[in-house]
């Protein structure tokens, strides 16, 4: 599967049109069309990073998946100097590989909030928002946690309303953002209390539902003026089980 096919596959999985992808990635619609038709040999690293970001995959995986094919259940990587690609494309891919290697060797500082926890239940208040910086290799994010290289926060979870997905005492890798897609697990601030819930929007009834995975807990349903009390402050990108990280 080449890069253009990969871009189209991801786009269709999200149910987006080419116009949707262009708007979300801030890449021109002309470029999106060119990439998907296999005319994107000169795709820039910046645009590749934008696409990986909106598809929520690491840059390494995004590139690797586009140049790997499956044969007899063995993954066979195409060589950058393979005879079935042009010298120009080979050169561009090699440049991208070099840039990705440099990116993976960078040190990323995760913000760990030892006194902040989100409740997988009925909410928890957090008055102390001081944090510690934990330096890790970017490669740890892409190779071990399998998430894109970007800024993340680490917070603990309290409660069992999100079991079995998230358990009491687990650590959450959270991408700080105020925007989230329908169905994502988010950190929500409701009048100062933090919750970790699955976000479900109902545009017809103009309401937002914060739902638990544990059926013993009722959903939090907000509408009208109540929505002014709701702030999305992050998306859960990875759940680290209790005891895996010694923080």
Which of these ranges, 49-53, 103-107, 132-136, 158-162, has the smallest mean pLDDT? 103-107
- The domain limits of the chain are 3-63, 107-240
pLDDT bin (cut points 50, 70, 90) of residue 22 is very high
Please report the pLDDT score of residue 69 as a whole number.
Answer: 33
Tell me yes or no: is domain 107-240 CATH 2.10.109.10. yes
Asked if domains 3-63 and 107-240 share a fold, the reply is no
- Omega of the bond prior to 164 within 30 degrees of 0, cis? yes
Please report the pLDDT score of residue 145 as a whole number.
Answer: 85
Nearest of 175, 219, 174 to residue 200 by alpha carbon: 219
Please report the pLDDT score of residue 76 as a whole number.
Answer: 30
Instruction: Give CA–CA dist 59/65, Å, rounded.
Output: 10
Angle at alpha carbon of residue 82, lines to 139 and 94, rounded to 5°: 35
For 226, phi then psi, to 5°, come to: -60, -30
pLDDT bin (cut points 50, 70, 90) of residue 68 is very low
Instruction: Check whether 83 has a pLDDT greater than 70.
Output: no
Q: Which CATH architecture fits 3-63?
A: Orthogonal Bundle (1.10)
Instruction: Give CA–CA dist 8/216, Å, rounded.
Output: 40
For 14, phi then psi, to 5°, come to: -85, -10
Task: Please give the structure tokens belonging to residue 191.
Answer: 């009048």
Please report the pLDDT score of residue 78 as a whole number.
Answer: 37
Strands (E), 24-65: none
pLDDT bin (cut points 50, 70, 90) of residue 186 is very high
pTM of the model: 0.60
Which of these ranges, 80-89, 190-199, 210-219, 236-245, has the smallest mean pLDDT? 80-89
Mean pLDDT of 81-91: 53
């Amino acid at each position: 599967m080449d890069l253009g096919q990969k871009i189209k596959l991801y786009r269709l999985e999200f149910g987006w049109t080419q116009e949707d992808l262009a708007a979300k990635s801030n890449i021109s619609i002309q470029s999106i069309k060119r990439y998907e038709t296999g005319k994107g040999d000169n795709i820039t690293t910046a645009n590749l990073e934008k696409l990986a970001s909106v598809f929520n995959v690491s840059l390494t995986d995004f590139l690797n998946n586009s140049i790997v094919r499956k044969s007899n259940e063995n993954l066979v990587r195409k060589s950058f100097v393979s005879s079935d690609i042009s010298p120009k494309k080979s050169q561009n891919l090699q440049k991208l590989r070099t840039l990705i290697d440099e990116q993976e060797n960078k040190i990323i500082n995760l913000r760990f909030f030892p006194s902040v926890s989100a409740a997988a239940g009925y909410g928890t208040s957090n008055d102390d928002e001081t944090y510690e910086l934990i330096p890790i290799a970017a490669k740890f994010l892409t190779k071990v946690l399998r998430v894109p290289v970007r800024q993340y926060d680490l917070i603990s979870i309290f409660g069992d309303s999100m079991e079995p997905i998230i358990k009491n005492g687990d650590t959450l890798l959270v991408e700080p953002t105020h925007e989230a897609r329908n169905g994502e697990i988010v950190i929500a601030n409701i009048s100062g209390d933090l919750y970790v819930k699955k976000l479900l929007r109902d545009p017809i009834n103009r309401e937002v539902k914060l739902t638990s995975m544990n059926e013993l807990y009722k959903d939090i349903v907000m509408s009208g003026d109540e929505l002014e009390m709701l702030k999305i402050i992050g998306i859960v990108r990875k759940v680290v089980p209790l005891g895996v990280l010694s923080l």
